[in-house]
Chain A
């Protein structure tokens, strides 16, 4: 029997108690009517997708499930259980599947954690960002550090043995010292996984209003409507924070497997890796992105459009989708959008798949395999990227090691510049 393909499932819960000041993710506060309606819509999407698009059960084994947000832990445990059950019912879930939920301190109770454990969730990703109270306040987080500690210890009590903690550097007013303290405090807790991001000032966030493109606070100007804001760390400090992250975490036994992700051996986030290694994943919920059979598409990012479309799904005739033939699919992207809530449907050409193989694969510290490139595309990597690779090796931005190509330290720092070279 042919082996089934691996699948990751992402479920988006776009609700938060309060939106953080730096956040440009698809999330917001909402009243309970909208939340309830959204959850019902989401369940309809799950049911419809499993029944009508691909014969998932026979073709795919689900290796990872990820509840992201927003703040999924804001939902009642029963709601999450309900959603997870509807997935388990309709998909073939691998026995060793990694099932993660994102939690924010201040929204999690012991009862919820017990419920998560019971329903089969085996990994928690806790959004902390900083162990410094002032920094947490600046970011607009709803919790303090002690609430995080409470959540963390309750999670351990509940039996979770695979926990990620999200951290952030380059927070306004943050110093190398305060960041170091955060790292040390977190290491002392021995989580299995640490995600360490550098704050990026994204457009359409309050931080963007304050710091703009140039990262300079507007608070010195009379026009500033915000309370006094500290400046962002200067470039030297920011770079130092970035570099000590790796050194300090390495010394503590965490290895970096992806640009922003560190873990103990064997505790990498398998769901996250599936984004980089070209595996199929199915995104459910508003704004969720999918990659199925070499087609990328997203659900609408407008929650009302999404809910309305899902509510009509019952009434749609059963579609007869044939997903066996990749070429047919690429020719006719419309078929995915019959429900009216998919957008940005993009069947990938061979060139695009090669590009992605490179620029996604190189995010992983293990790099990419030339042989795997040949196996997938039946073309020697050097025929496509020979010049680019030679140039980047010459600039010491990537390095080769036999069959493997990977980013150097310097290459990681300026990875956007490096990876843009692989666009065809």
Chain B
């Protein structure tokens, strides 16, 4: 079989701000190029997981190969690599971009450029991708394509006058997009005869085939039986199958060669061996150097995850292990809590990643979880010169052993309309932000740059941002580094007993406020007992806030309607059932919910 002609390949992705229609456009492209009939199309085929469909976001990169017959009469192979759409997955996004030669920038005709639009488009330009813009949602009454075109030219500096004006939802203007893909996205130009050099941009664990590696071949070729090596992890294996991507299915082929996007299976047992960003080469005839840009992903956010029913500990362990097969960025190790029993300290890329894992554990594995407050990794420098990376507040050494502590800081970019500047600046200030700059994108919109401590944004920063800007602000960040900080451990005492699962690290200036809010929240959540329960927040043994759950004074069912005992019994059963779902802290029964409710203290 003849080798695929590189000049007929277009490898590209779509970049956009969330909700600007990236996945819908992807669906239309797939549909119009005839891979699927409309009837076969499920809404947004590329978003596979339920959670992705529900939240309207892409979590895992998806890739699809279609064939388009252009107006020049030629057939072109389109490899559309759909990138994750959230800041938590920035590294994965960057690797997906590296697998492309060009990108379509989708901008909402009504909303214009947003923070993520900028972040993603700069990321694409950083990877030397040729980017062309598309104006979507022109069917909206509030659409103003001309304004958006000008904005794209002014702010990003991209030529936008001939940008296709489309409605991905209605299928308007898609032909023009397809033609521009052919025209404006460069064809790959690798050397098929050079030593194999392929970029891993994703991988997937399949229980029958092992790990399926998604890769872009830069140079060389690979086929069944080739012995390949992962240059960073050093893993070596024999290729079992190579192929390309249909919509939601794998289509085997004879070989993958330079310029192609496809998959490789090689009886690899663990996704850890196929790290995203690593370079695949031929074991016997390796390329001289790996592709640039590989880095190990580190968890940014940690929390404790405990089974609500302690008997489910092993189930939780199995479920985490299974998820990890598919998600190299998920870390977990066993830990124990006096309040919550046996569980795991888990590390995530960010809060969304945490929420997704939590939801998947609950839905796909039917587990009921109690999660402790997420925290970041603090660096604790001890007086003996030792440095520890702290992921669980309970492990904080005695203050006398601590010289100083550092916390991670991020560079944050927030885009907001001018009327909310005040509110957003105030929010950033409350979260200990350091103002870096403010630039006008256009008359009514500014880009605010702040340095913010990561632990201030992992809780509910995004929600607060949305509510204080009535949804208009958008936000992006990347890790800047570690800085020295005045941090303290805040402990919560329920009926005089310290609850380890509720302890967390906080800046000393915020300790009182947070302690007070936690006490208030716990007071709401802990039911009245037969005795009075003090709830205290303490720093270094000193109580800084207190609330009291008053003793229960009355709980009587008075009427008994016409001898309806069943109803009365149900009430008692409910009471007993409720108790089962409680955690015993000394003599106090604390609902599981209480541990979670303190995660969202800013909801007012």
Interface residues, chain A, with chain B CB atoms under 8 Å away: 8, 10, 12, 25-26, 68, 197-198, 200, 235, 238-239, 242, 259-260, 274-275, 281, 283, 287-291, 296, 298, 344, 346, 355-356, 359-360, 395, 397, 412-417, 419-420, 423
Query: What class of interface size applies to chain B in its complex with A?
Result: 20 to 34
Which B residues are in CB contact (< 8 Å) with A359? Answer: 568-569, 572
- Contacting residue for B530 out of A235, A288, A417, A419, CB 8 A: A417
Which B residues are in CB contact (< 8 Å) with A68? Answer: 562
Which A residues are in CB contact (< 8 Å) with B563? Answer: 8, 10, 274-275, 281, 283, 289-291
- Alpha-carbon distance A356/B559, docked complex (angstroms): 17
- Contacting residue for B562 out of A238, A283, A296, CB 8 A: A283
- Alpha-carbon distance A276/B313, docked complex (angstroms): 43
Q: Are B565 and A420 in contact (CB under 8 A)?
A: no
- Alpha-carbon distance A412/B560, docked complex (angstroms): 15
Which A residues are in CB contact (< 8 Å) with B562? Answer: 10, 12, 68, 283, 287-289
Of A344, A346, A356, A413, the most chain B CB neighbours within 10 A belong to: A413
Q: Which of B187-195, B231-239, B497-505, B548-556 contacts A (4 or more CB under 8 A)?
A: B548-556
Q: Are B565 and A417 in contact (CB under 8 A)?
A: no
- Alpha-carbon distance A289/B559, docked complex (angstroms): 14
- Alpha-carbon distance A198/B554, docked complex (angstroms): 10
- Contacting residue for B566 out of A260, A296, A397, CB 8 A: A296
Interface residues, chain B, with chain A CB atoms under 8 Å away: 530, 552-566, 568-569, 571-573, 575-576, 579
13 interchain pairs (CB within 8 A)? A10-B563, A200-B557, A275-B563, A298-B566, A356-B565, A356-B569, A359-B569, A397-B530, A412-B556, A420-B572, A420-B575, A423-B573, A423-B576
Which A residues are in CB contact (< 8 Å) with B556? Answer: 198, 259, 412-416
Q: Are B576 and A420 in contact (CB under 8 A)?
A: yes
- Alpha-carbon distance A60/B421, docked complex (angstroms): 82
Question: Taking A238-B554, A289-B565, A296-B566 as contacts, is the C-beta distance between A416 and B560 under 8 angstroms?
Answer: no
A221–chain B nearest beta-carbon distance, Å: 16
Which B residues are in CB contact (< 8 Å) with A275? Answer: 560, 563, 565
- Contacting residue for B558 out of A197, A239, A397, CB 8 A: A197
Which A residues are in CB contact (< 8 Å) with B575? Answer: 416-417, 420
Which A residue's beta carbon lies closest to that of B571?
Answer: A416
Which A residues are in CB contact (< 8 Å) with B571? Answer: 416
Q: Are B564 and A197 in contact (CB under 8 A)?
A: no
Which A residue's beta carbon lies closest to that of B578?
Answer: A420
Q: Are B564 and A289 in contact (CB under 8 A)?
A: yes
Q: Are B558 and A25 in contact (CB under 8 A)?
A: no
A296–chain B nearest beta-carbon distance, Å: 6
Q: Are B557 and A415 in contact (CB under 8 A)?
A: yes
Q: Are A419 and B566 in contact (CB under 8 A)?
A: no
- Alpha-carbon distance A413/B558, docked complex (angstroms): 11
Q: Are B552 and A200 in contact (CB under 8 A)?
A: no
B265–chain A nearest beta-carbon distance, Å: 56
Q: Are A298 and B564 in contact (CB under 8 A)?
A: yes
- Alpha-carbon distance A289/B563, docked complex (angstroms): 6
Of B554, B555, B556, B557, the most chain A CB neighbours within 10 A belong to: B556
Which A residue's beta carbon lies closest to that of B556?
Answer: A415
Which A residues are in CB contact (< 8 Å) with B573? Answer: 420, 423
Which B residues are in CB contact (< 8 Å) with A412? Answer: 556
A42–chain B nearest beta-carbon distance, Å: 14
Which B residues are in CB contact (< 8 Å) with A420? Answer: 572-573, 575-576, 579
- For the residues of A in contact with B, the DSSP-based class is mixed
- Alpha-carbon distance A26/B567, docked complex (angstroms): 13
A30–chain B nearest beta-carbon distance, Å: 18
Which B residues are in CB contact (< 8 Å) with A344? Answer: 566
Contacts A198-B554, A289-B565 known; 8 new A-B pairs at CB < 8 A? A26-B561, A287-B562, A289-B563, A290-B563, A355-B569, A414-B555, A414-B556, A416-B555
Which A residues are in CB contact (< 8 Å) with B576? Answer: 420, 423
Q: Are B566 and A198 in contact (CB under 8 A)?
A: no
Which B residues are in CB contact (< 8 Å) with A355? Answer: 569
Q: Are B572 and A25 in contact (CB under 8 A)?
A: no
- Alpha-carbon distance A275/B572, docked complex (angstroms): 17
A352–chain B nearest beta-carbon distance, Å: 8
- Alpha-carbon distance A423/B552, docked complex (angstroms): 21
- Contacting residue for A296 out of B530, B565, B572, CB 8 A: B565
Q: Are A415 and B565 in contact (CB under 8 A)?
A: no
- Alpha-carbon distance A259/B552, docked complex (angstroms): 18
Which A residues are in CB contact (< 8 Å) with B568? Answer: 359
Which A residues are in CB contact (< 8 Å) with B530? Answer: 395, 397, 414, 417
- Contacting residue for A360 out of B555, B558, B565, CB 8 A: B565
A247–chain B nearest beta-carbon distance, Å: 17
Question: Taking A346-B566, A420-B575 as contacts, is the C-beta distance between A197 and B552 under 8 angstroms?
Answer: no
Question: Taking A420-B576, A423-B573 as contacts, is the C-beta distance between A414 and B565 under 8 angstroms?
Answer: no
Q: Are A259 and B558 in contact (CB under 8 A)?
A: yes
B577–chain A nearest beta-carbon distance, Å: 9
- Alpha-carbon distance A287/B571, docked complex (angstroms): 18
- Alpha-carbon distance A423/B570, docked complex (angstroms): 11
Enumerate the 5 nearest inter-chain pairs by beta-carbon distance, A residue then B residue, closest first: A420-B575, A197-B558, A416-B555, A289-B564, A420-B572
Which A residue's beta carbon lies closest to that of B527?
Answer: A417
- Alpha-carbon distance A197/B557, docked complex (angstroms): 9
- Alpha-carbon distance A414/B579, docked complex (angstroms): 15
A2–chain B nearest beta-carbon distance, Å: 26
- Alpha-carbon distance A49/B304, docked complex (angstroms): 61
- Alpha-carbon distance A423/B553, docked complex (angstroms): 22
Which B residues are in CB contact (< 8 Å) with A25? Answer: 561
- Alpha-carbon distance A415/B569, docked complex (angstroms): 13
Question: Taking A289-B565, A296-B566, A346-B566 as contacts, is the C-beta distance between A416 and B572 under 8 angstroms?
Answer: yes
Which B residues are in CB contact (< 8 Å) with A238? Answer: 554
Of A259, A298, A419, the most chain B CB neighbours within 10 A belong to: A419
- Alpha-carbon distance A289/B573, docked complex (angstroms): 19
Which A residues are in CB contact (< 8 Å) with B555? Answer: 413-417
Q: Are B558 and A200 in contact (CB under 8 A)?
A: yes
Which B residues are in CB contact (< 8 Å) with A26? Answer: 561
Which A residues are in CB contact (< 8 Å) with B564? Answer: 289, 298
Which B residues are in CB contact (< 8 Å) with A298? Answer: 564, 566
Q: Are A242 and B554 in contact (CB under 8 A)?
A: yes
B570–chain A nearest beta-carbon distance, Å: 10
Q: Are A416 and B569 in contact (CB under 8 A)?
A: no
- Alpha-carbon distance A291/B565, docked complex (angstroms): 9
Which A residues are in CB contact (< 8 Å) with B565? Answer: 275, 289, 291, 296, 356, 360
B566–chain A nearest beta-carbon distance, Å: 6
- Alpha-carbon distance A25/B564, docked complex (angstroms): 11
Which A residue's beta carbon lies closest to that of B558?
Answer: A197
Q: Are A235 and B572 in contact (CB under 8 A)?
A: no
- Contacting residue for B553 out of A8, A290, A395, A413, CB 8 A: A413
Which B residues are in CB contact (< 8 Å) with A414? Answer: 530, 552-556
Which A residues are in CB contact (< 8 Å) with B554? Answer: 198, 235, 238-239, 242, 413-414
A13–chain B nearest beta-carbon distance, Å: 11
Q: Are A289 and B566 in contact (CB under 8 A)?
A: yes
B524–chain A nearest beta-carbon distance, Å: 10
A84–chain B nearest beta-carbon distance, Å: 17
- Alpha-carbon distance A287/B566, docked complex (angstroms): 12
- Alpha-carbon distance A359/B570, docked complex (angstroms): 12
A125–chain B nearest beta-carbon distance, Å: 13
Q: Are B559 and A260 in contact (CB under 8 A)?
A: yes
- Alpha-carbon distance A34/B224, docked complex (angstroms): 81
Which B residue's beta carbon lies closest to that of A197?
Answer: B558
A157–chain B nearest beta-carbon distance, Å: 30
Which A residues are in CB contact (< 8 Å) with B559? Answer: 197, 200, 260
Which A residue's beta carbon lies closest to that of B554?
Answer: A413
A344–chain B nearest beta-carbon distance, Å: 6
- Alpha-carbon distance A288/B563, docked complex (angstroms): 8
A245–chain B nearest beta-carbon distance, Å: 11
